[in-house]
Structure 1
Amino acid sequence: MTELAIHAADQDIGDQLCEQVRSAYTDRTPLRIVGGDTRGFYGRPVEGQALNLAAHSGIVSYDPVELVVTVRAGTRLSALHAALAENHQMLAFEPPIFGEASTIGGAVATGLSGPRRPWAGAARDFVLGTRVITQEGKLLRFGGEVMKNVAGYDLSRLMAGAQGTLGVLTDISFKVLPIPTATHSLRLPLNLADALKKLAELGRQPLPITAAAWHNGELFLRLEGGKSSVSATQTRLGGESLEASFWTSLRDHSHAFFQLNDGQALWRLSLPPHTAPLKLDIPETDIFYDWAGCQRWLKTSLEASTLRAACEAVGGHATCYTPHAQGGAVEPFTPLNKVVEKYHRNLKAELDAHGIFNPGRLYAAF
């Protein structure tokens, strides 16, 4: 077994962070948990004393043979990607990088995943274990470094997407995967109706597709896997070759589509598979279909209630990515129903009784 040691420049400031949390708990001081602060737009603004994890960085351990890496939350995504790539491995959920300072802790806390998500899994699916600072300032370990390690409540995966409202992530262990042997991206000229029909057809077949998107009259596909499988599928589908950077630009919102006009806000719709186009007064050019249509990006000035009603009617939900101060929705996340809200309240009260962790980040009531 090969294991990489901690890099000399890495730091463990866990004790300092615990002390700051203990002090905040005693004084009832709200904390705004921050790493690279590149995901600050996501969710409601937080007022509080900064708890900065940027210096808590570095790879704690990495076993390429076992496909497991443990990393501190302040580690930059670019550094982690580079370390994994040296062993021809990757984070399969493709976390978005919204700036050079983006950290792995922020990626897990927001629970965001890239184009490969429907085929490989979400961020929480690759979290094996975590170390978390509790409300009392204790540093506790949850989970471990194997896939089946939980008996009872799985707090580690619960932290993915919780936006730091339940505790402070300090270390995370991940399952990593090999980088595919072969890859090829292509584009096909298709209108929306034909593209959705094509995606439904391809989805019923054992093809090496790991990303699928549609925008402005073109269907985009990424093939990954063994050389023979990718080559055969490429020959079958045809189309024009597409630069791999297209998927990076979609993942990181650096594609030209994500430039908003005055009065527009960026919305993400999460919908069931094979959902037909929603009946919304939005130009087709202002909609980007990702995840084979399950994730749709919209640029619009429509009211939140209109978008959410359309999504709810088909079993989906809508999230606003534009901060309220810049013209986005007051409540970026879909309001909870009474039953779900009750569970959220109980969980928050149990893990953060005094509301010191990112208060109001998800919902004003928490």
Structure 2
Amino acid sequence: MDAALEPLIDKIRKAAERGRPLRIRGGGSKDFYGQQLHGELLDLRPLAGVVSYEPSELVVTVRAGTRLRELEALLAEHGQCLPFEPPRFGVAGTVGGMVAAGLSGPARASVGSLRDYVLGAQIINGKGELLSFGGQVMKNVAGYDVSRLMTGAMGTLGVIVQVSLKVLPVPPAEATLLFEWSETTARQQLNRWGGQPLPLNASCWANGQLAVRLRGARAAVQAARQTMGGEAMDQDGATRQWDALRDQALQFFRLEPGEALWRASVPDTATPLNLGPTMVEWHGGLRWLRAAPAEAPRVREAAARAGGHATLFRGGDGRAAVFTPLAEPLARIHRALKAEFDPAGILNPGRMALDY
């Protein structure tokens, strides 16, 4: 057994015996996300390093405590990337935290989510058992795909030890086009473009301006630029802007006192929610909103009416639920999973705010 794993397993087993909660943490870059943090710290940063990487196979296996920026730098040396652009929120973010949070960046609507790129995972469950799921190829699952179940579980089902991820080559060409449109016009045009053979990769609308990023073969990007029109943005400036969007470093995300940041996931055809300052991503499918935590009923009602749901992403006051409460049949499945993977309820209790 890996020497770095022994103290982790021992600590988890002792915590389970005593019913003592553990707070799983990598770089702490997403401590703001979720309902609450409490329990004795279980630090995964010592569990770092790349286990295997074969560029020709487009697969990398990496330990959970590895910094995300280090992994991305390694992939870039070989002209490859994590196409779902996981938010980093600073330099300390780790691969394990990336998978546990399950967040994807600007390109998610075009390339798929983080979960789509998880091939396998090794975890320690709440009983201190080291378990492996999946592998290093896409078609490797018989029965339940537990490795992808860990994606977005916020550490409540197991401590992620290492993951295998599918990676892709960096597209040979890229361009960002700007359009001065209303939210409704931008959404309608994005829906029309979505039905055409265009290399759409990401989009963002805010303050009357739509930015669309194209990625793909050089000929495809050039043809799309001529078809779509708009004003082309210089590449260096565009890269900075998309990175700032990915990591929520844009002015829009700077909250005023009493404000909270809401993340509404809705169908891309949904009309404007009209709930206050808004930013739209994912070709209309993701709406960032700034509204007070006390506005939770109004925000969630509007998102549900549009066919989606809303998450209190930042700035909660502890009184409003961070995640939309689940319907009882689904909540029952969550409780059963929790009881199976973490019967003593010691792993990140309360992070998902479910009454297990």
Q: TM-score, normalised by structure 2?
A: 0.96
The within-5 A match list for 1:147-226 is 147-226=138-217
Structure 1's unaligned 5+ residue stretches are 1-10
Tell me whether 233-242 or 165-174 shows the greater mean CA deviation.
Answer: 233-242
Partners of 1:116 and 1:364 in 2: CA distance: 30
Counterpart for residue 291 of structure 1: 282
The percentage of counterpart residues that share the same residue type is: 48
Aligned to 2:338: 348
- CA positional deviation for 1:341: 0.9
Contact 1:43 1:323 in 2 (8 A): no
Q: 1:328 to 1:253 in 2, by over 3 A?
A: farther
Q: Map 1:215-254; keep pairs closer than 5 Å.
A: 215-242=206-233, 243-254=238-249
- Quote the Cα distance in structure 1 between the aligned partners of 2:51 and 2:45: 15
Q: Please give the per-residue CA displacement for 1:187-242, whole angstroms capped at 9, x wherever unaligned.
A: 11112221111111101001001001111111110000011111111122232233
How far the C-alpha of 1:31 sits from its partner, in A, is 0.5
Q: Contact 1:93–1:113 at 8 Å: present in 2 too?
A: yes
Q: Letter of the 1:72 partner, please give it.
A: R
Shift of residue 20, structure 1, vs aligned partner: 1.1
- Residue equivalent to 2:303: 311
Q: What does the per-residue CA deviation read over 1:276-328, in whole Å, with 9 as the maximum and x for residues that have no partner? A: 11243x2xxx100010111010111251011111111121000011243xx46
2:257 aligns to what? 262
Amino acid at match of 1:278: L
- The more displaced of 88-97 and 188-197 is 188-197
Match status 1:27 vs 2:27: no
Measure how far apart 1:78 and its partner are: 0.6
Paired position in structure 2 for 1:337: 327
Paired amino acid for 2:125 = T
Counterpart pick for 1:83 among 63, 74, 87: 74
Give runs of aligned pairs for residues 30-179 of structure 1, distance below 5 A: 30-179=21-170
Q: Cα offset for 1:138?
A: 1.7
Question: Aligned match of 1:320 in 312, 325, 342?
Answer: 312
3-state SS of paired residue (2:41): strand
Q: Counterpart amino acid of 1:17? A: L
Could you tell me how far apart the structure 2 residues matched to 1:305 and 1:329 are?
12
Are the equivalent residues in 2 in contact too, given 1:320–1:329 (CA < 8 A)?
no
* C-alpha distance after superposition, 1:307-366 (max 9, x if no partner): 111111121000011243xx4653100011111111111111111111010001001513
Counterpart contact for 1:128–1:143, Cα < 8 Å: yes
How far does the alpha carbon of each residue in 1:132-169 deviate from its partner, in whole angstroms, 9 at most, with x for none? 00122121111000000000111100000000000000
**Matching residue within 348, 351, 356 for 1:361:** 351
Distance (whole Å) between structure 1 residues aligned to residue 226 and residue 3 of structure 2: 50
CA distance in 1, matches of 2:128, 2:301: 41
How far did 1:76 drift? 0.5
In 2, distance between residues paired with 1:238 and 1:28?
A: 61
C-alpha contact (below 8 Å) 2:127/2:342 kept by paired residues = no
TM-score, length of structure 1 as denominator length: 0.93
Considering only aligned residues, what root-mean-square deviation do their CA atoms show, in Å? 1.3
